[in-house]
Amino acid sequence: MRKPIIAGNWKMYKTAAEAKAFAEEVKTALPSAEKVDAVICAPALFLQNLVESAGNTDLKIGAQTMHEEKEGAFTGEVSPVQLKDLGVEYVIIGHSERRQYFNETDESANRKVVSAFEHGLKPILCVGESLEQRDSGDTGNVVEAQVEKGVARLSAEQAAELVIAYEPIWAIGTGKTATAEDANEVCGIIRKKIESLYNEETAGAVRIQYGGSVKPANIEELMNMEHIDGALVGGASLEAESFLKLLEAGANA
């Protein structure tokens, strides 16, 4: 049985005061950590304060990206060692917005995933097709290739610990959600790919999230699907009340 994982991706939203108020509200109302992993991936600026606000509650804090090197002359970047040092636990890698606007590739995502594991962070690797790729029937091939390149050099134990987020690009921030069946089908393709690259046990352990316009109104249906183990949520993770509803749905799945 895979434990559901609900992660909020705040992207470039909120002020420090808003971030703190969110954590203070959410941390007192979390469902049991035995039932769901609750993660907020915040702008790097707020990570330290959020880790402090979350304290020893079950609210886990994640970054939205990181550099692959542990240190160096990389102006503006944040290293995995720095994140780990703050008490950050998760890191989103290869989000489609990073791929689109910041030239990230499957290869750079792979280097970051490997580095995250090396430095004791839990990576959430994002994959997903564009509308054009979906319309031309390429979804399966595109996502399989992203997964294969993304997990290169990972051991079976690491792959089993990985979280993969399937986020169809056309569903992000558009209000368009993949149907639960379509999302489940692609998450199933991802799981099969992990099985072919590793083994059945690893494929059975890897957690696969769906992301793209997830909200309290549609999460239950998504979470009922066999291969969907959680959600990576943008807009609907910004308000405490909405995030708590998503966590509740995750805990009850």
Ligand X SMILES: O=C(CO)COP(=O)(O)O
Active site residues: 95, 167
Residue 9 interacting with ligand X (CB under 6 A): yes
Spatial distance between the Cα atoms of 180 and 146, rounded to a whole number of angstroms: 21
Tokens coding 42: 């915040």
The footprint of ligand X on this chain (CB under 6 A) covers a number of residues equal to 14
Choosing from 40, 162, 232, 246, the residue that interacts with ligand X (CB under 6 A) is: 232
Contact residue for ligand X among 180, 235, 243, 249 (CB under 6 A): 235
Residue closer to ligand X (CB basis): 164 or 214:
214
Q: In 10 A of CB 72, how many CB atoms?
A: 10
Gap between the Cα atoms of 18 and 233, Å rounded: 18
Exactly one of 154, 214, 225, 246 binds ligand X (CB under 6 A); which one? Answer: 214
Nearest to ligand X of 41, 54 (CB atom): 41
CA 80 – CA 122 distance, rounded (Å): 10
Residues 166-205 vs ligand X: string with x where CB under 6 A? -x----xx--------------------------------
Residues in CB range of 132: below 8 A, 6 or more apart = none
- The encoded tokens of residue 208 equal 């696969």
The answer to whether the beta carbons of residues 88 and 51 sit under 8 Å apart is yes
Ligand-binding annotation for 120, yes or no, is no
Angstrom distance (rounded) from CA 239 to CA 171: 20
Question: Is residue 173 a known part of a binding site?
Answer: yes
Closer residue to ligand X in complex, CB, 80/235? 235
Q: Using CB under 6 A, which of the segments 53-61, 70-78, 182-190, 229-237 binds ligand X?
A: 229-237
CA distance 195 to 226: 16
Q: How far is the CB of 41 from ligand X (least distance, A)?
A: 8
Structure token digits, residue 41:
């991936």
Is there binding between residue 65 and ligand X (CB under 6 A)? Answer: no
Site residues, ligand X (CB under 6 A): 9, 95, 167, 172-173, 211-214, 232-236
